[in-house]
Chain A
Amino acid sequence: MSLLQRDPGNRVQILDEEGHVLQGASVPEIDDDTLVGIYRKMRLARHFDERAVSLQRQGRMGTYPPLSGQEAAQVASGYALDEDDWVFPSYREHGVGLVRGLSIKQTLLYWMGDERGNALDPDLHFFTVAVPIGTQIPHATGAAWASKLKGEDRAFIVYFGDGATSEGDFHEGLNFAGVFDVPAVYFCNNNQWAISVPREHQTASETLAQKADAYGFDGIQVDGMDPLAVYGVTREAIKKAKNPGPNDRRPTLIEAVQYRFGAHTTADDPSIYRSEDEVEEWKRRDPIPRLETFLRERGLLDDERIDAIADEVREHVADAIEAAESEIRPAPESMFEHVTGTPDWRREEQEAYLRRLREQYGDDTLLED
């Protein structure tokens, strides 16, 4: 029986809370470089996240959605993709972005309110960030469907949170996926909280994974803070999307059970709705020390290598922050670009009007409150 066909309530876990392989669990086939790569990117994601929150606190960046605690789900699932596969992110998938080659500088620019943060390399198979909840799910279904119609051999993974499973677009996107049997993986980052509303207030279903039953395809729950389990499950789902067995449907819903250690965004204060004890309880499952323990036991990491990775990560993030902050503000007229392929008279007139105002009054006067 395939890993994906087990009961949705039977959570896949390979590492225990300390990072030792659970008895009877089988470690997925992952080469050593990939294992260390996952660790390095998880450290990078964590450090980036801490710096980003700090930048917001210092007034150097706008509202930002932190990811700490969710590195295993993001990074290990990103590593499970083949090069040509596509990612449809929500707004918190900075960690997946790192794996797929999205530069930290661009992520920073986006959250610093600069549209150039969205001007991604055309070769990057990473869709634009979706801020409304769950709306990217039908987009991923549509793109996967288009790829299948074109006869390609690609998989599409779309990320969303536990709250998104209450949205109509979740239902419609997964329902279409089942009906048209599209090569997509629906990756739910169940981090327990949709801002202040807990998972059990989103649905009376025992698991989110079991919702896949209603769409006629596999749903599986995985320990989202166990990178090995996340990798194994996602890899199976990606393979099945491309090469389903005779009785398989291509799509899979993965519920990665995890916790966001920080706030929903920097504008949120989680102490209003959840206890510090709860946070501490989940921090015991922190994916980074867990993988570190596993890799030490495998002989792939030691203190020296860990320190080197920490230095490298610090330097990488510091350079990216410097690069993002040294960008001068985009030209105001750039807001008129890319509205439609050919600008119509409205945009032309309004752009000319803004230009005239700037020339006549100067930016300082114009921008005074």
Chain B
Amino acid sequence: MSQVEQTGETQNLTLVQAVRDALHHELERDEDVLVMGEDVGKNGGVFRATEGLYDEFGEDRVIDTPLAESGIVGTAIGMAAYGLRPVAEIQFMGFIYPAFDQIVSHAARLRTRSRGRFTCPLVVRAPYGGGIRAPEHHSESTETFFTHMPGLKVVMPSTPYDTKGLLISAIRDPDPVIFLEPKKIYRAFRQDVPDDGYTVPIGEATTRKEGTDISVYCWGAMTRPTMAAADNLEGEIDVEVVDLRTVSPMDKEAIVSSFEKTGRAAVVHEAPRTAGLAGEITAILQEESLLYQEAPVERITGFDVPFPLYALEDYYLPEAARIEDGIRTAVEF
């Protein structure tokens, strides 16, 4: 392992640049780390998330693979079991399903099945979610599938700072991590991000805005419209916004302690409602804090329809007005 200088400097980065910065940092720090996927090498990734890494680290560490999602994840599992730390990119979450079997039947179970003899320190990165006027199958948000599987961690950051720190944590994690990047906000804003290799712990939520009237839980790309809704309601309703950042394992303590302060809750996600994570959060609140509850938990989610082509996607995705409506419903109950 090479020593990486601690500079104390920061750069003003977009979220996708923070992804690249984290990959760069870890490739430099640990020679077992490698990046693989479709178009991640010479091309630098279709979203530029791996730009320049091929030139700097070479074709054996930033690998252009054949176009085969199950092959990418399946071979990455073999590499991870054999001591490397692959970071596999799936170009869009809507194309992850050919690899689903490898992720849930093997990456998630390898440690259990071998009683700890083999581990699978694998990161599968995928841009997820709608809002970029993309073709069919390019807008999915199906974190529930992976959250349902024991053995997997699922991370969904919402800021450049968290993205870098969480991706570094994911790469260093001894177990498989599904790292879902909100592509709608890849370039929406910038934030000062330290050059150093800092980490943000997996499994910890953060409170984006303190409030006393209602707890609104969100993650990834939904954090921005949720914050906008909270701002719009300023003076009317005092909203607390809790950004989960990791959806598996969820930060139960943060979820519960916020709710016990406010007594009301809404959950915002762009995934379809049925069996979505809003249901899981509602169940946690029921189990842990029933006596604090003053209103039904509002689920402000995508609809139970296939993600529509983009002419209608803005109706599908929860935007600030819909989130405000849901918050009012819970508060006025």
Q: Residue-by-residue, is A172-211 near B (CB-CB < 8 Å gives 1, otherwise 0)?
A: 1101100100000000000000000000000000000000
A119-B68 Cα distance, complex, nearest whole Å: 32
CA of A345 to CA of B251, assembled, Å = 9
B115–A139 CB distance below 8 A = no
A residues near B82, Cβ cutoff 8 Å: 142-143, 146-147
Complexed CA–CA distance, A142 and B175 (Å): 17
- The contact string, 1 if C-beta is below 8 Å from chain A, for chain B 69-100, is 01101111111111110000000000000100
Nearest chain A residue, comparing its CB with the CB of B75: A142
Q: How far is the CB of B283 from chain A (nearest CB, A)?
A: 12
- A138 near B71 with CB under 8 A, answer yes
In the complex, chain A residues whose CB is within 8 Å of the CB of B70: 138, 168-169, 172
Q: Which residues of B contact A145 (CB under 8 A)?
A: 75, 78-79
- Judge whether B29 is part of the interface by a CB distance below 8 angstroms: no
Contact partners of A341 in chain B: CB under 8 A:
111, 119, 173-175
User: Which residue of chain B lies nearest to A184 when distances are taken between CB atoms in the complex?
Assistant: B78
Interface size on B, residues (CB 8 A): 43
In the bound complex, what is the Cα–Cα distance between A175 and B79 (angstroms)? 16
Give A122 to B18 CA distance when docked, in angstroms.
38
* A298 CB–B CB distance under 8 Å: no
Closest to A168 in B: B70
User: Are A142 and B74 in contact, CB atoms less than 8 angstroms apart?
Assistant: yes
| Residues of chain A lying within 8 A (CB to CB) of residue B102 | 135, 138, 169
B168-211 near A? 1/0 per residue, CB < 8 Å: 00000111000000000000000000000000000100000000
Query: In whole angstroms, what is the CA distance A140 to B71 when docked?
Result: 11
Chain A positions 320-357 with a Cβ under 8 Å from a chain B Cβ: 337-341, 344-347
Tally of A-B Cβ pairs under 8 angstroms? 128
Bound form: Cα–Cα A137–B73 in Å: 12
Q: Residue among A120, A127, A129, A337 with the most chain B CB within 10 A?
A: A127
Q: Does A115 contact B (CB under 8 A)?
A: yes
Q: Tell me the bound Cα distance from A137 to B71 in angstroms.
A: 9
B115 adjacent to A176 (CB under 8 Å): no
Find out whether the CB atom of A339 lies under 8 angstroms from the CB atom of B150: yes
Decide: B74 and A172 in contact? CB cutoff 8 A. Answer: yes
Partner of B78, one of A132, A144, A346, A347: A144
Judge whether B252 and A345 touch: CB under 8 Å: yes
Contact partner, A173, options B75, B81, B116, Cβ 8 Å: B75
Chain A residues near B105 (CB-CB < 8 A): 132, 135
B112–A338 touching, CB < 8 Å: yes
With an 8 A cutoff between CB atoms, is A118 at the interface?
yes
Given A120-B117, A172-B70, A143:B111 Cβ within 8 A:
no
B101 at the interface (CB under 8 A from A): yes
What 1/0 flags go to A90-122 for Cβ under 8 Å of B? 000000000000000000000000011011101
| Chain B interface residues toward A at CB < 8 A | 34, 60, 65-66, 68, 70-71, 73-84, 98, 101-102, 105-106, 110-119, 150-151, 153, 173-175, 203, 249, 252
Q: Which residue, of A116, A137, A146, has the highest number of chain B Cβ atoms within 10 A?
A: A146
A272 cross-chain contacts in B, Cβ below 8 A: none
Given A135-B105, A338-B116: 12 more A-B contacts, CB < 8 Å:
A118-B117, A128-B118, A135-B102, A138-B74, A138-B78, A142-B76, A172-B68, A176-B71, A338-B112, A339-B112, A340-B175, A341-B174
A13 is an interface residue with CB less than 8 A from chain B: no
What chain A residues lie within 8 Å of B113 (beta carbons)? 118, 128-129
Could you list 27 A-B pairs, sorted by A, with CB under 8 Å? A116-B115, A122-B117, A127-B118, A128-B114, A128-B118, A132-B101, A135-B101, A137-B74, A139-B75, A139-B77, A141-B71, A141-B74, A141-B78, A142-B78, A142-B79, A143-B79, A144-B78, A145-B79, A146-B79, A150-B83, A169-B102, A172-B71, A176-B71, A338-B112, A339-B111, A340-B153, A344-B249
A127 to B203, CA, bound (A): 31
Bound-state Cα–Cα, A176 to B77, Å: 14
Residue of chain B at shortest CB distance from A335: B112
CA–CA, A333 and B76, complex, Å: 31
Does chain B have a CB within 8 A of A149?
yes
Q: What's the minimum C-beta distance from B248 to chain A, rounded to whole angstroms?
A: 9
CB nearest to A182 among chain B residues: B75
In the bound complex, residues from chain A placing their C-beta under 8 Å from that of B252 are 345
Distance, CA A149 to CA B78, complexed state (A):
13
- Tell me if B78 and A143 are in contact (CB < 8 A): yes
Can you name the residue of chain A whose Cβ is closest to the Cβ of B202? A344
**Chain B residues closer than 8 Å to A143, beta-carbon distance:** 78-79, 81-82
Interchain CB contact under 8 A, B74 and A173: yes
Q: Give every chain A residue within 8 A of B73 (Cβ-Cβ).
A: 138
Contact status of A149 and B84, CB under 8 A, knowing A139-B78, A143-B79, A339-B151: yes
How near does chain A come to B249, taking the closest CB pair, in angstroms?
4
The answer to whether B81 and A176 touch across the interface, beta carbons within 8 angstroms, is no
Minimum CB–CB distance for B104 against chain A, Å: 10
